[in-house]
Structure 1
Amino acid sequence: MINKLQKEVSLSSEDIEVLTPGLFSTVQGIGITGYRHLGIPIGGALDSHALLLGNRLLGNPDDTQGVELTSGKVELKFNRDSWFVVTGAQYQIFIGERNIWNGWRNRIKAGETLTLKGPSSKMRAYLTIDGGIIQHSPLNKQGSTSQMLVRGDRLQLGKPLPIAKPIGAVQRGYSDEIRALPGPEMSLFTAASRKAFWHNRWQLTNASNRMGARLNGEALSLSTANELNSHAVMPGVVQVPPSGQPIILLADAQTTGGYPKIATVIEADLWKLAQTRPGQTIRFVHVSPSQADDANYEWQQYFYRLQRAIDGS
């Protein structure tokens, strides 16, 4: 993907040149599995649903990589005719002076520059391109390097796809309610802390990143001091360090940790954390395992209906 990888492969004329990288722009896929025992996190897009939506609209395989955009102005020069989609956060999108819609597949010609400015709402957007972005590291084939793009980077594209016309999809409405299951150490916290966790609002801090969403609110405390051995953790786990301020682990988080786990955000709602801005507040909503399954089923139905619409277009 980036300069270091370019030394290993010959550059193709079918690529994208990064003219202006924006802030914290990275190439992301759906993440990798099978390496956690080596301490390697899952990684991948923080809002995997937005990435999947873009790939579905283009006819790409679900694990095709795109660019995760976080903030600022991004300018990309395309060196082949391409179809692309921008999903997730709302960006101003231009090809020259032409304004482009979010959530629709659009055509750009070789030699033209795509300009993205934002976000105007939510937090992260995803740029997907027909054929996808090719990376050559076996470890990152389906995941990410989490290496920020810089001016002059070249993103090699896969084989273009036979796409006939534009098509779009309605994107999800954001909600600040984050559904969660009680964690294995929930009972170790005081009754007041358990109540505060579920009933108070929590503010996302500026210290948040791809590793974790750091929250600020009423400090949570254990009933008695308790030393825990280091244990396996995964995205969605809500840990409470000695400060009493919860941290929700995200895609690039460590694979083990020793802080007590007060809750786990359900998989269907992890995308909301990717789209929450620092300074905004969230509220945890207690759900059961069956409700978590129902929420995942709703997403499956959303993408099933989307695929039916695409196939019939």
Structure 2
Amino acid sequence: MIEVLIPGFHTTVQDLGRTGYRHLGVSVSGALDRQALMLANRLVANPDNAAGLELTAGTLELKFHRDAWFSLTGANYEIKIGSREIWHGWRSKINAGETLILKGPKSGMRAYLAIDGGIDVPISLSSRSTLTAAELGGHQGRALKVGDRIPLGDKLSLSKPIGAVQRGYSNEVRALAGPEMALFTQDSRKVFWSRQWRLSNDSNRMGARLSGEALNLEQEPNLNSHAVMPGTIQVPPSGQPIVLLADGQTTGGYPKIATVIEADLWKLAQTRPGEKLQFIHVSPNQAEDANYEWQQYFYRLQKAIDSCS
């Protein structure tokens, strides 16, 4: 078990999300940076879908009530056990009675804490992920608070620290043209792909709200509400795009100008409010190649971990 001494800002339990319920209006939720959670889990020998903690900002202090191995990936946080500094992106040992202190982020936006055995909160609709808007899953359907006691899975037999090379960050986000791209003026289509967009302070786990030159339609479309998914880029009447994220709604009526490819969604999770990003137009084949690159990364990572164990 771990005990929350200081909860940080909007720290939640997340796994890779819940699938098969979007037709009921239930968002997928789960880690916004799926690759970072998978990396943290692999470093502590958990399954990829084991639940961990998603940190957004501030200071998180956890007292451990059993010996454990942990790893923190994603955004770069200061990591300490008492006064002892710990490396980011490594599997490290903490003993029962010790306190883990995480402060940040120094860079990036969201970090992921995996603990051997995983976070063992109850499963809700096939997932341990927290969907706060519905008070579903995670720890009592909400962000962590002071005094919370979070159960852990069974301790694993791990013997030594290991680390992994962290990915580089680029503000270029690859995207596919959306089904309503042709409804926008030629100038707006050019603006969408050629200009940088600033992440708004109003962004959250539901969507990344962007600000820049307003996008205009050739004429007002008559669109029925339709299915949307994480990565969908909708353009409301303000002309300012919104990239739907893990907690986003399952249907919407705004025109869809583009869709962020799955391999690059993590960049939205790690962009801070005020920072800029630029969309890069890719083909479906290029999107598949990008996913394959991630598969190869985790294949090589697992081989390296196995060779060190």
The TM-score range, normalised by the shorter chain, is: over 0.9
- Choose which of 163, 169, 180 in structure 1 pairs with 2:164: 169
1:222-280: per-residue Cα shift (whole Å, max 9, x none)?
A: 10111210000000000000000000000000000000000000000000000000000
1:176-195 alignment runs, 5 A limit: 176-195=171-190
Contact 1:85 1:106 in 2 (8 A): yes
In 2, the alpha carbon distance for the partners of 1:21 and 1:202 equals 31
Structure 2, unmatched stretches of 5+, are: 133-141
Contact 2:22 2:250 in 1 (8 A): yes
Contact 2:131 2:247 in 1 (8 A): no
1:108-147 alignment runs, 5 A limit: 108-139=94-125, 141-146=127-132, 147=142
Correspondence for 2:64: 78
1:150-299 alignment runs, 5 A limit: 150-299=145-294
Alpha-carbon shift at residue 140 of structure 1 (Å): 5.4
Contact 2:198 2:275 in 1 (8 A): yes
Q: CA RMSD in A?
A: 0.8
Contact 1:63 1:142 in 2 (8 A): no
Contact 2:3 2:64 in 1 (8 A): yes
In 2, the alpha carbon distance for the partners of 1:301 and 1:224 equals 44
Contact 2:228 2:251 in 1 (8 A): yes
User: SS of the residue aligned with 1:312?
Assistant: helix
Q: TM-score, normalised by structure 2?
A: 0.96
User: SS of the residue aligned with 1:138?
Assistant: coil
Contact 1:238 1:248 in 2 (8 A): yes
Correspondence for 2:24: 38
- For this pair of structures, how many residues does the alignment match? 299
Correspondence for 1:50: 36
In 2, the alpha carbon distance for the partners of 1:302 and 1:140 equals 27
Instruction: Please list every run of at least 4 consecutive aligned residues from structure 1 whose deviation after the TM superposition is greater than 6 angstroms.
Output: none
Correspondence for 1:8: none
Alpha-carbon shift at residue 144 of structure 1 (Å): 2.6
Alpha-carbon shift at residue 28 of structure 1 (Å): 0.4
Correspondence for 1:95: 81
- Choose which of 28, 43, 53 in structure 2 pairs with 1:67: 53
1:162-205: per-residue Cα shift (whole Å, max 9, x none)?
A: 10100000111110000000000000000000000000110000
In 2, the alpha carbon distance for the partners of 1:312 and 1:108 equals 23
Work out the percentage of aligned pairs sharing the same amino acid.
67
In 1, the alpha carbon distance for the partners of 2:38 and 2:160 equals 19
The one-letter amino acid of 2:224's match is N
In 1, the alpha carbon distance for the partners of 2:232 and 2:260 equals 6
In 1, the alpha carbon distance for the partners of 2:297 and 2:57 equals 28
Alpha-carbon shift at residue 108 of structure 1 (Å): 0.3
Alpha-carbon shift at residue 139 of structure 1 (Å): 1.8
1:98-124: per-residue Cα shift (whole Å, max 9, x none)?
A: 000000000000000000000000100
Residue 22, structure 1, aligned to residue 8, structure 2: yes
User: SS of the residue aligned with 2:150?
Assistant: strand
Structure 1, unmatched stretches of 5+, are: 1-14
Alpha-carbon shift at residue 137 of structure 1 (Å): 3.6
Contact 1:135 1:141 in 2 (8 A): no
Contact 2:234 2:257 in 1 (8 A): yes
- Change over 3 Å in CA distance of 1:140–1:22 after alignment to 2: farther
Contact 2:54 2:112 in 1 (8 A): yes
Q: TM-score, normalised by structure 1?
A: 0.94
